[in-house]
Structure 1
């Protein structure tokens, strides 16, 4: 039987997981959250639900990387995040980090979800979406995702902004893309 699965990359406080559970549109959810404090709260919040919290950052390889901390909504794996003048509380100083486990998102999909399941993926991973989406495209795993809800951050990561439109077009050619903020 085809399962309806929800993958939340950058689960943060779990509000998008809770909304999916309330909608009764999913059978199971994985929430990826690298921030240890947030992951602990998520495990507690969803302890009685069909949810597994993966304390790791969605990335392009298995390993360990520094997660640069700031406001919980703005932590990132990547250097070069530009502060927005209207939102100084979301600035990253790069002086505070914690080493976190990273997961090869494409490999994780291949190894954990059988073909035929319906996959909805939400991706809000503070700049890492550019690398992760490129890896999903190259591996072909993007084709297994029925709907991708992605928050892009081109204004925050100038190094990725020049290829933003090309990446979005490539993703849209392979899956249903919903961009949100």
Structure 2
């Protein structure tokens, strides 16, 4: 293990902020976005995975609500975020409404954690051979439970992003949301490109377009 990797591991172990020069190429863009936050911001991290983004956010924001439905990944997320007292963990998927659904995933490689778990059918890089039932929270219910008027949402939810965005756009919470960072999966799910166009039109009609950012790493 090299010097930078060793330092990253030690910093995360003790809850310290990793020096900029020691960040890897995956986490560095997260740091650039995290530095735009303020201590009044509350973060909703949808698809938190093993916590890299949540940890970056935690150094700059007031509180982080991290959602990860994959049980194996959630166990690692729990271990890695233990030193960070302003990160709250939820072993749930998030969509447009509360439900119980099958979460589909692939087995992770040794020392790696699968990143493509989904509740959406038809994802091109998932075999749909493995699944377990997960509790799904509705995004409006999530927003209802969070206090504060400066909310930043990051979503990497493998195809459910437009269900969540549409629910947000028809909610009473628009004024509370400062920014939404989205990773779009339209190249992997048939019909998602059309869903994106409809969502973008609805966002424009609501005067919300400038708060949407589709450049999440």
Q: CA deviation at 1:113?
A: 1.6
Q: CA deviation at 1:164?
A: 1.4
Please give the root-mean-square deviation of Cα atoms over the aligned residues, in Å: 1.8
- Which structure's relative contact order is higher, taking Cα pairs within 8 Å and 6+ residues apart? 1
* 1:171 equivalent in alignment to 2:170: no
In structure 2, relative to structure 1, the CA distance for the partners of 1:39 and 1:142 (3 Å cut) is: farther
* SS of residue paired to 1:162: helix
Map 1:24-63; keep pairs closer than 5 Å: 24-49=59-84, 50-63=86-99
Q: Report how many residues are paired.
A: 168
Counterparts of 1:127 and 1:117, CA distance in 2: 27
* SS of residue paired to 2:198: helix
- Please name the residue that 1:130 is paired with: 162
Q: CA deviation at 1:36?
A: 0.8
Counterparts of 2:73 and 2:174, CA distance in 1: 27
Q: CA deviation at 1:99?
A: 0.6
More strand by share: 1
Is the CA contact (8 Å cut-off) linking 2:105 and 2:131 kept in structure 1?
yes
- Please name the residue that 1:7 is paired with: 44
In structure 2, relative to structure 1, the CA distance for the partners of 1:143 and 1:80 (3 Å cut) is: farther
Extract unaligned runs of 5+ from structure 2: 1-38, 109-113
Counterparts of 2:174 and 2:51, CA distance in 1: 23
Match of 1:74 among 105, 108, 116: 116
- Please name the residue that 1:152 is paired with: 184
Q: CA deviation at 1:3?
A: 3.4
What TM-score do the two structures reach when normalised by structure 2? 0.72
Is the CA contact (8 Å cut-off) linking 2:149 and 2:177 kept in structure 1?
no
Match of 2:132 among 94, 98, 109: 98
Is the CA contact (8 Å cut-off) linking 2:149 and 2:175 kept in structure 1?
no
What TM-score do the two structures reach when normalised by structure 1? 0.85
